[in-house]
Amino acid sequence: MYAPDFLSGFLLGLSLIIAIGSQNAFVLKQGLKREHIFFVCLFCALSDAILISAGVGGFGAVTARYPHIVDVAKFAGVVFLLGYGLQSLYASVRLSQSLTVEGQVVSSLKKALLLCFGFTWLNPHVYLDTLVLVGMVSTGANSKVVFAAGAVSASFFFFFALGYGARLLKPLFAKPKAWNTLDALVGILMLYLAWHLYQS
């Protein structure tokens, strides 16, 4: 009876997170480096679950009434993306054997989760997508709970597939130069997203 609600929530949730963005690029890189993949994917998925639940529960009305909340997140997001983008570009010009998968210097779990927190919670678009958009679409569902479950399931499916599926690209990143290229692309992407966020 509620299967269409679950499917609608799943497809909506998947469509909102499947686009390449700062968070997905970070998860992909963690998957390639094989660093704290489970916890990074779990953090992203649980963050989405909290935001989706709040959106379906009606928190979208709060952000609509107090838009300055989104403005604060926007400013913080621009600063964070600029900083990480410049750091990635700097890393791209260094040639080190530690950039190979086997010799990759493992960062701490705390640092990985702090970065993940920034990419997730300092992105104002995530509030618009989950709190507002998902919240609005859920009003047409027969069961908001089932709809939310579908959207949450999409997040868990996507992030864990991205994180653990990244290892299939391991042969491509067997050389340090490939990591330099990835760092350069990630840096450019972050700076573009910061500019796009500033202009929005």
pLDDT of residue 103: 42
* Average pLDDT, integer, range 116-137: 83
Between these two residues, 179 and 6, which has the higher pLDDT value? Answer: 6
pLDDT of residue 19: 65
Between these two residues, 176 and 26, which has the higher pLDDT value? Answer: 26
pLDDT-derived band at 67, boundaries 50, 70, 90: confident
State pLDDT tens for residues 132-172. 778 877 877 888 899 999 999 999 999 999 999 988 877 77
* Average pLDDT, integer, range 115-126: 87
* Crossing angle of the two packed helices 22-33 and 144-165, in degrees rounded to 10: 50
pLDDT-derived band at 62, boundaries 50, 70, 90: low
